[in-house]
Structure 1
Amino acid sequence: MGFETVYGVDFSAHGSKSGYRTWVTEAIPREDSLEVRQSRCAFDFFEDNPSSRAETLESLVQFFADEDDAIVGLDFPFSLPEAVADEYFEVSDWRAFVTEFPGEWESPSEMFHAVNDAEGFEGNVVRATDEEHDGQPPTGWRIKTQTYYGISGVLAPLVGEHDARVAPFFTDDDGVSLLETYPAGSFDELGLHRNGYKDVPEASRARRKQNVRGLQSEGVSLPDEAACVAMHNDDALDSVAAAYATWRNIDAFSTDGADSGVEGRIYV
């Protein structure tokens, strides 16, 4: 199917500042280019101006629930390693996993300690796709909160209540189309800076600028304002990279069938 709009979301699960740290890039897919229309933090992007995590999660779900003709790249793990899923969930596919996930643990910390205390896991087990793209352990300390709220607060309601399609698990539902992105992996794939672009020093800004220029050379058309913001704000840059990866993999929903596993894949 053709998509009218591409979105890239750099998701922050910060308790009180999620709306300012979550960034959304909106773009129009052309034949040979991705035309970015805007790149803003969630507080400015959504009409209800969310600030807290709960408000931002609600805004994300409500907005994308109505975007049936859009494809959205979200920067958080869509799944847990198969070994972890087998240990804690009696499910055979991802749809069942995402349905049961919100009821398994009451907090990211509880998830982390449950997995960390399990013999053989130690909180550092990764998926095959994480190994391929040098991603973080989904239940590890660094991104546990992002994983927990991304799955329970965004994916579960979009899939369960709004018929979202999620690559590569199932591609024949009628709602918004979602796929997992990883900006650092995208920059790595392009031979750009996957590390050292998120800090304050001038060297980090120079790396962000090079990453922006690299995306532009790959067909990403950025308004001057959006390009400037991405060079100064790594969260904004990551949302642009998520949109790029989504556009690059826009055919992910054109294949028949579905992945019968629970791990899925990162799209870069």
Structure 2
Amino acid sequence: MKNLFPKSTIYGVDFSGSKEACKKIWVCESISTDKGLLVKDCWNLKEKYGNLSRDRSFEILTKVIASSPRAAFGLDFPFGLPKSIIDEDNWIDFIKNFSKNYGDPYQFRQRCHDRALKLTGKKELRRYTDIENGSPFPPCNLRLFKQTYYGINNVLRPLVMSKSAKILPMEDQEISSPWVLEICPASTLKDLDLYFTGYKGKESTSSELRETILSKLKKSEFVTGIDSKVWKTSVENAEGDALDSVIAAIATYRGLYPDLNLDDIYKLEGYIYV
């Protein structure tokens, strides 16, 4: 596989909106080569930067992205909402108005539910990309709403307002800026026919599934190697966050190759790169 794009470093980020975000946000660092992706390191923010508050964790992640112009980052949270429940007609305005429209994660979830219920009779709506790529949950789902809120408000919004990264596909691929893509590990595994329920957990069967997924990923055309330490960490991390960051890096690498001619809806709602 030839290296067709100018981003030499690929990061996969397993994001979290939990109070212990520094323990739950995992980052996989990989190198793009002409033979595929070389997965070389994996860590959580606490290991790298010490014990951090939730807000400080988001600040550190944002700074890492902004200071890496030759890199592409894949983050696993929704970058937008369904068109029917937002007022703005473009994504940049949606981002600029986000903190004004939604004061905290709970207000965010409630307002999204109220509007969706009024318009459609359903509390939770999926975006086009959620439907097409089989993401497990819509953006405002109980299991995802904090991740969505903090990802948009505390990571994407600062990057957009400071113009320190380009968020795809809503913004153009400016070579001198880092690129940020939305990914979803479950969607990538489904696309690769590697989706196994139960790979997250402390049971031996879950550990075996994590190793099986790694083995199959390593044999794919997109991966040229996985560092032994990354392999060990990904198998031993029972929550599956380390493995998800590896999958995120691979999804980012895969997502940068196709010459996608995406409809305008994805430039408003966001697009999952698988």
CA RMSD after TM alignment: 1.9
Moved over 6 A (4+): 254-258
| Pair 204,255 (structure 1): closer, same or farther in 2 beyond 3 Å | closer
Please give the alpha-carbon distance, in whole angstroms, between the structure 1 residues aligned to 2:144 and 2:172.
Answer: 27
| Equivalent residue runs for 1:24-173 within 5 Å | 24-45=27-48, 48-85=49-86, 89=87, 91-118=88-115, 119=118, 120=120, 122-135=122-135, 136-173=137-174
TM-score, reference length from structure 2: 0.89
> Are residue 221 (structure 1) and residue 225 (structure 2) matched?
yes
Counterpart residue type for residue 234 of structure 2: A
Q: The residue matched to 1:37 in structure 2 has which SS?
A: strand
Deviation at 1:50, TM superposition (A): 4.8
Equivalent-residue separation in structure 2 for 1:242 and 1:121 (angstroms): 34
Give me the whole-angstrom Cα distance separating, in 1, the residues matched to 2:268 and 2:152.
13
Percent same amino acid among aligned pairs? 32
State whether structure 2 residue 11 is matched by structure 1 residue 7.
yes
Deviations 1:182-236 (Å, cap 9, x if unpaired)?
0011111111134211122122111111111111111251111110111122100
CA distance 1:220–1:204, change in 2 (3 Å)? farther
Distance 1:34 1:101, change over 3 A: same
CA distance 1:255–1:131, change in 2 (3 Å): closer
Shift of 1:33: 1.6
User: 1:20: Cα distance to partner?
Assistant: 0.8
Contact 1:14 1:52 in 2 (8 A): no
- The number of aligned residues is 260
> What is the letter of the counterpart of residue 185 of structure 1?
S
**Helix, strand or coil: the match of 1:78?**
coil
Alignment correspondent of 2:178:
176
In structure 2, what is the equivalent of residue 245 of structure 1?
251
Unaligned runs of 5+ in 1: none
Deviations 1:145-196 (A, max 9, x none): 0000000000001111133112111214442101000001111111113421
TM-score (norm. length: structure 1): 0.91
CA contact (8 A) 2:35 2:224 kept: no
Return the alpha-carbon distance in structure 2 between the equivalents of residues 65 and 14 of structure 1: 23
Q: Is residue 265 of structure 1 aligned with residue 266 of structure 2?
A: no
SS in 2 for 1:240: helix
Q: Answer with 238-247 or 168-177: which moved more.
A: 168-177
| Structure 2: segments with no counterpart, 5+ residues | none
Contact 2:196-2:209 within 8 A present in 1 as well: no
CA distance in 2, matches of 1:2, 1:220: 18
SS of equivalent residue, structure 1 residue 137: coil
Change (3 A) 1:37 1:109: same
CA contact (8 A) 1:183 1:242 kept: yes
Q: Is the 8 A contact 2:11 2:74 kept in 1?
A: yes
- The answer on whether the counterparts of 2:65 and 2:165 sit within 8 Å (CA) in structure 1 is no
Preserved contact between residue 208 and residue 237 of structure 1 (Cα < 8 Å)? yes
1:121 to partner: Cα distance: 5.5
In the TM superposition, residue 51 of structure 1 has moved relative to its aligned partner by 2.5
- 3-state SS, counterpart of residue 13 of structure 1: coil
1:192, 1:210 within 8 Å by CA — same for their partners in 2? Answer: no
Deviations 1:126-148 (A, max 9, x none): 00111112221101111000000
